[in-house]
Structure 1
Amino acid sequence: MLGLLVRPSPICPASYIRQFNTTSALHISRTKEPKIRTPSKKALAAKARRKAAIAKKEDQRLLKLPLLDAIAVLRSVEVAHPKSLYELYVKTEIGNGAAVPRGRVNLPREAKSKDEGKILVFAEGRQAEEAKRAGAHIVGGIELIEGILNNRHRATTILCVPSLIRAITPKLGRFLGPLGLMPSERRGTVTEDIVGYIQRLRGTSEWRADRTGSIRAPIAMMDFPVEDVVTNFNQFITSVKGATGNGKDPDAADRKLRSAGGSRPVIPITKVMLSSKQGPGIRIADF
């Protein structure tokens, strides 16, 4: 310990002199930080199973009706509105990296008048002539690219033969991709069988889920016979099941994967509801 003395001065008398002492620094011991425990894969799986069991139990408590009973309830609510529509709602559970479900359906009796879509085909030679005879509205080669980019050529469906897909992808990929119009082998719009694809489009309408996996579509009118409503419902659900891997779909677009012997991931269907403009949304038990 060292002592520092300050000499007295006229300004600072000796009686006010203060002695300063220095002491050694204290050593502060660091406490050990608590370790964060990372749950194992087994624990996470068990937690997920518990949550799924609780969700299933809660779902079973909700009221569900058979399809015929739901139709009867909605018809009684809409008795003064015979032109009101039955609205179908299907909720699918899309996993990470899974494609948004989409497909085409041919309802025996359409609820709304269908707007005829415009078909554009990238093809040359004999395939181009066959596409024109099959009913394609715009047919051509790579010269159509500029017309698509400046919106001179507008189409609801774009098909392409395999020999031209590499030529159009660099310029049209980023433009048509976000619109869901870029031809792809997975969807079946890159194909040698252009005529067969156009024939399957005739008399059908496209449905598509949103980013949350929800599908909404009008399937019938209130003044339809009950048998027609049931038939349209079953036809639409069959199309959704086929596109999500929950049923067989002979017109599935993913023929390449199927021919290779692979299997598409199944997208669960968690909820099916039927509603109307004035009526409630009714969970369907039998679908």
Structure 2
Amino acid sequence: MKHGKRYTEAAKTVDRTTLYDPETAVAAVKKLAVAKFDETIEVHIRTGCDGRHADQQIRGAVVLPHGTGKTVRVLVFAKGAKADEAAAAGADFVGADELVPRIQNEGWLDFDVVVATPDMMGIVGRLGRILGPKGLMPNPKAGTVTMDVTKAVNDIKAGKIEYRLDKSNIVHVPIGKASFTEEQLADNFHTLMSAINKARPSTLKGQYLRSVTLAPTMGPGVKLNPVNLA
């Protein structure tokens, strides 16, 4: 893969053989974000888990203290009083059965997170083939299947993010924008890593964190020492 001049020049400022501590890595990754837009800073965590085994799956959610810098659009499946609660909490879209054909037939996906009350999961389940592959399916572990829709919406708007293993046993999570201060990014990073460490499967033998990399949307990554993060 051929990289542009900006990427190549930025990459020269990072020693690829060095494993950095979090604060140094955050400072370095901010300098690597040289695109003309406010790049997202992401963490990529390669684990020693085998996601093919149910007892080694990692999935959960955590509220980042400084948010992600992104405006998140929330869709809530609820009826009656719970629908009113969701709307009052600031949900962008609230509905029930009538949303199914809109998503199924019209391809409407103008939302980033889906929340549902437990009684609505029969309806939401019909959208599994569409929402599932996009990572939008509500899940109790992530706190998106709940009767407390007010808390769910508030948390998401405040900067709650989901983390989960992909097929390569890697977790990819945004922790903010390049415009954030180093302190804000470091706070978010440490909050995320605390949650990831707590999510370590009890059945896992051997090293849990194989590699941890910070990277901006368009730039090269900075590797951290995973031993110091466990």
Could you state the TM-score of these two structures normalised by the residue count of structure 1? 0.55
Aligned match of 1:270 in 201, 206, 210?
210
Q: CA RMSD, aligned part only?
A: 3.8
- Corresponding residue number in structure 1 for 2:194: 238
Aligned match of 1:108 in 57, 66, 69?
66
Aligned match of 2:118 in 158, 162, 170?
162
TM-aligned CA deviation for residue 126 of structure 1: 1.1
Find the aligned partners of 1:273 and 1:128 in 2 and give their Cα distance.
40
- Matching of residue 286 in structure 1 with residue 228 in structure 2: yes
Identity of aligned residues (%): 24
TM-aligned CA deviation for residue 218 of structure 1: 5.3
Which structure features the higher share of helix residues? 2
- Tell me which of the two structures has the higher relative contact order, counting C-alpha pairs closer than 8 angstroms and 6 or more residues apart: 2
- Corresponding residue number in structure 1 for 2:181: 224
Answer whether contact 2:19 2:225 (CA < 8 A) is retained.
yes
Find the aligned partners of 1:234 and 1:197 in 2 and give their Cα distance.
22
Answer whether contact 1:158 1:183 (CA < 8 A) is retained.
yes
TM-aligned CA deviation for residue 233 of structure 1: 2.6
Find the aligned partners of 1:206 and 1:223 in 2 and give their Cα distance.
17
- Corresponding residue number in structure 2 for 1:133: 88
CA 1:220/1:175 → structure 2, altered by over 3 Å: closer, same or farther? Answer: closer
Q: Which runs of 5+ in 2 are unaligned?
A: 1-16
Counterparts of 1:164-203 in structure 2, within 5 Å, are 164-169=120-125, 171-203=126-158
Find the aligned partners of 1:137 and 1:279 in 2 and give their Cα distance.
34
Which structure features the higher share of strand residues? 2
Answer whether contact 2:72 2:156 (CA < 8 A) is retained.
no
CA 1:128/1:266 → structure 2, altered by over 3 Å: closer, same or farther? Answer: farther
CA 1:156/1:265 → structure 2, altered by over 3 Å: closer, same or farther? Answer: farther
Counterparts of 1:1-287 in structure 2, within 5 Å, are 64-68=19-23, 74=28, 78=31, 88-95=43-50, 96-98=52-54, 99=57, 101-108=59-66, 113-114=69-70, 116-150=71-105, 151-152=107-108, 154-169=110-125, 171-208=126-163, 209-216=165-172, 217=174, 221=178, 224-225=181-182, 227-242=183-198, 244-245=199-200, 268-274=208-214, 277=219, 281-287=223-229
**1:224 is matched by which residue type in structure 2?**
T
Find the aligned partners of 1:92 and 1:176 in 2 and give their Cα distance.
25
Find the aligned partners of 2:95 and 2:40 in 1 and give their Cα distance.
40
TM-aligned CA deviation for residue 240 of structure 1: 2.3
CA 1:133/1:214 → structure 2, altered by over 3 Å: closer, same or farther? Answer: same
Find the aligned partners of 1:265 and 1:279 in 2 and give their Cα distance.
30
CA 1:271/1:149 → structure 2, altered by over 3 Å: closer, same or farther? Answer: same
User: Deviations along 1:169-216, whole A, 9 cap, x unmatched?
Assistant: 2x2222322222222334332211111111111221525443212234
Q: Which runs of 4+ in 1 moved over 6 A?
A: 83-86
TM-aligned CA deviation for residue 71 of structure 1: 5.8
CA 1:222/1:174 → structure 2, altered by over 3 Å: closer, same or farther? Answer: closer
TM-aligned CA deviation for residue 132 of structure 1: 0.8
Q: Secondary structure at the match of 1:196?
A: helix
Answer whether contact 1:93 1:270 (CA < 8 A) is retained.
yes
Could you state the TM-score of these two structures normalised by the residue count of structure 2? 0.67
Between Structure 1 and Structure 2, whose CA radius of gyration is higher?
Answer: 1
TM-aligned CA deviation for residue 134 of structure 1: 0.8
CA 1:195/1:270 → structure 2, altered by over 3 Å: closer, same or farther? Answer: same
**1:178 is matched by which residue type in structure 2?**
P
CA 1:265/1:166 → structure 2, altered by over 3 Å: closer, same or farther? Answer: farther
